[in-house]
Every structure is written in structure tokens, then in C-alpha cells.
Amino acid sequence: STAPEMIKVEHVGEKKNVALVTLNRPKALNALCNQLMSELATALKSLDDDKKIGAIVITGNERAFAAGADIKEMVNREFSETLGNNFLGDWTAVSDVRKPVIAAVNGFALGGGNELAMMCDIIYAGDKAQFGQPEINIGTIPGAGGTQRWPRYTGKSLAMELVLTGNKVSAQEAKDAGLVSKVFPADKLVGEAVKLGEKIAEQSPLIVQLAKEAVNKAYETTLAEGVHLERRLFHATFATKDRKEGMSAFAEKRKPTWTSS
Ligand code: CAA
């Protein structure tokens, strides 16, 4: 495959076990055109299969994480082609990643940019970040999860306000609402997100995968089903050597050595 043009992929962290994916279309505020999203999907798939990588960070630049789907690419689209090609359907490549994905959001996370961040597992924000779903201002509605994930993550009132008005919320407001877990000075953000990725990458990849799957189920199903699945996945950890190693290491007062088996 050819090298991507609109994203940059680096292996970072002390052990180079964290992938840093930088959206790199700054002149268009990282508008998520087809080429960028297709490059992102390809990169995420290959990082997901790369045994050396334990976590993935997606970031943009200090002005924009991403200002949404590419409006200029959409202007002349017809209903029949958006339906026929299942436009935006391929964005699920982001939420399909089995490894933890951290969004490090500086600047604008708007429309599809915000939806991309919400497809990630953890959102860290820079103090100047702004989040919103301004689609209503251009005569459309969110199409990559905005109307579904906002209410699940922050409750209905804020979700409705943002989707119906295009109002934006600050990093601190997004944190208060539960969308974002931590806020950092803009220039510290990516480093902190990578540190978080390194901490996750220290754990057993097998167990991390099960843990991510369990938490995500909380947004997909009933409490009874979710708790049932959680217990089964917990039982499944007992089929791994890493579970035995983790508990043995605790009992023997030493650090565990994961073998991903
Ligand atoms: N698509 C295409 N180009 C975009 C873009 C987008 N979503 N957002 C910004 N750009 C381009 C601008 O057209 C401009 O390009 P030119 O220099 O060629 O004119 C460049 O990026 C810089 O943008 P501005 O000059 O507008 O910068 P600003 O600082 O004045 O404003 C902004 C910043 C408020 C984010 C403004 O750019 C803006 O409102 N952008 C659109 C936001 C939006 O509506 N996003 C939702 C898109 S629809 C969607 O995402 C659907 C979905 O659910 C998937």
C-alpha cells in the first residue's frame, strides 16, 4: 500500500509501543474527506494487528482536531449516491478497533470531527478545545453517531442543545458533562495522551481487549445483558496465562510479566 498523505503515523513512547496518528490536513482544519478517512481506516486496521502496539492516540493540531466531514466534498452529493454508497458507513472502522484508542483533542472537534473523537475510548482535551455538532447550520444533521453518542455520554439536554443549535462547548464544559476525562494545557496534551497510552500498553493486551469490549457493551445493551456479558468475559480471563500470572505476581510480591497468552 502507498504511504498515507493526509495522516501521519508514528510509533512513540519509551518502548515505542504507542501509535500516534496525526490528522494532517491543516489547511482544511483536518476536514474529514474520503481520502483522509480511508487512510485512517487502513492505518487503524494495521495498527490493530501490530503486536508491538498496545494503544493508539489520534490527534490533530492545536487549531483543529477536525472541523467535520468535508463540506465541499458533500455540496453536490445526491441522496441516491449517499444511500447507494452507504456514505459514512466506513467510519465504523474507528469504533471497530480492538485496542484502546485515545483522542487527544486540541482546537475544533466539530461535526464528524467530534463524532470521530466520540468513537475513541478515552477523550483527553487541550484547554482551548471546542466541541460541537454544527450540522444544523448547514442544513443537515450529524451522520456518524453524534445524535446517539452525545445523549449516551452526557445526557439528553446538552445533546439536544448542541444538535439543535450548533452551540459549542469548551474543554472544561465537555469535561464537566462527562465527554472528556481530563483537560491539559494545549502544548502538554499529546504528551499526556501518549503517557496514558504507555500505561495501558504495560498491561496484558489480551485482558485489555476484554476490558474494552466489556465497557463498550454498556453503551450497546441492557444492564442485565451487560452485567451477564461482563461476568462471562471475567470468567474468560481465567482461560489465560496472563490472569494466572497477574494474581501469582501479586501473591509473590513481584511485577507480572505478560506473555499475551
Ligand atoms: N469541510 C471542508 N472545509 C472546511 C471545513 C469542513 N468541515 N471546515 C473548515 N474548512 C476549511 C474552510 O473552508 C477554509 O478553507 P479555505 O481556506 O479554502 O477557505 C479552511 O478550512 C479554514 O477554515 P475557516 O476559514 O472557516 O476558519 P475559521 O477559523 O474562520 O472558522 C470554523 C473555523 C468555525 C471551524 C469553520 O471553519 C467552520 O464552521 N467549519 C465547518 C464546521 C462544520 O460545519 N462541521 C460539520 C460538517 S458536516 C459533518 O461533519 C457531517 C457528519 O456528521 C459526519
* Structure ipTM: 0.98
- Output the pTM of the full model: 0.97
In CATH, the architecture of 205-251 is: Orthogonal Bundle (1.10)
Annotation says 78 is catalytic:
no
List the domain boundaries for the chain. Answer: 7-201, 205-251
Residue 144 CB less than 6 A away from ligand 1: yes
One CATH from 3.40.1280.10, 3.10.310.40, 3.40.50.2000, 3.90.226.10 for 7-201 = 3.90.226.10
- Contact indicator for 18, 11 with CB cutoff of 8 Å: yes
Among 23, 27, 29, 167, which residue has the most ligand 1 atoms within 8 Å of its CB, making it the best to mutate?
A: 29
Which positions ≥6 away from 140 have C-beta within 8 Å? none
Torsion of CA 89, 182, 176, 26, to 10 degrees: -50
Annotation says 112 is catalytic:
yes
Annotation says 10 is catalytic:
no
Alpha-carbon span 145 to 116, nearest angstrom: 9
One digit per residue, the tens of pLDDT, for the chain of length 261 reads 689 999 999 999 999 999 999 999 999 999 999 999 999 999 999 999 999 999 999 999 999 999 999 999 999 999 999 999 999 999 999 999 999 999 999 999 999 999 999 999 999 999 999 999 999 999 999 999 999 999 999 999 999 999 999 999 999 999 999 999 999 999 999 999 999 999 999 999 999 999 999 999 999 999 999 999 999 999 999 999 999 999 999 999 999 999 999
The distance of Cα 80 from the centroid of its chain, to the nearest Å, equals: 30
Residue in 31, 113, 135, 144 annotated catalytic: 135
Alpha-carbon span 181 to 198, nearest angstrom: 17
Give the model's pLDDT for residue 2. Answer: 80
Q: How far is the CA of 21 from the centre of ligand 1 (A)?
A: 21
Q: Which of 182, 183, 177 is nearest to 152 (CA)?
A: 177
Q: How far is the CA of 227 from the centre of ligand 1 (A)?
A: 42
- Equal CATH topology for 7-201 and 205-251: no
Q: How far is the CA of 192 from the centre of ligand 1 (A)?
A: 27
Residue 132 CB less than 6 A away from ligand 1: no
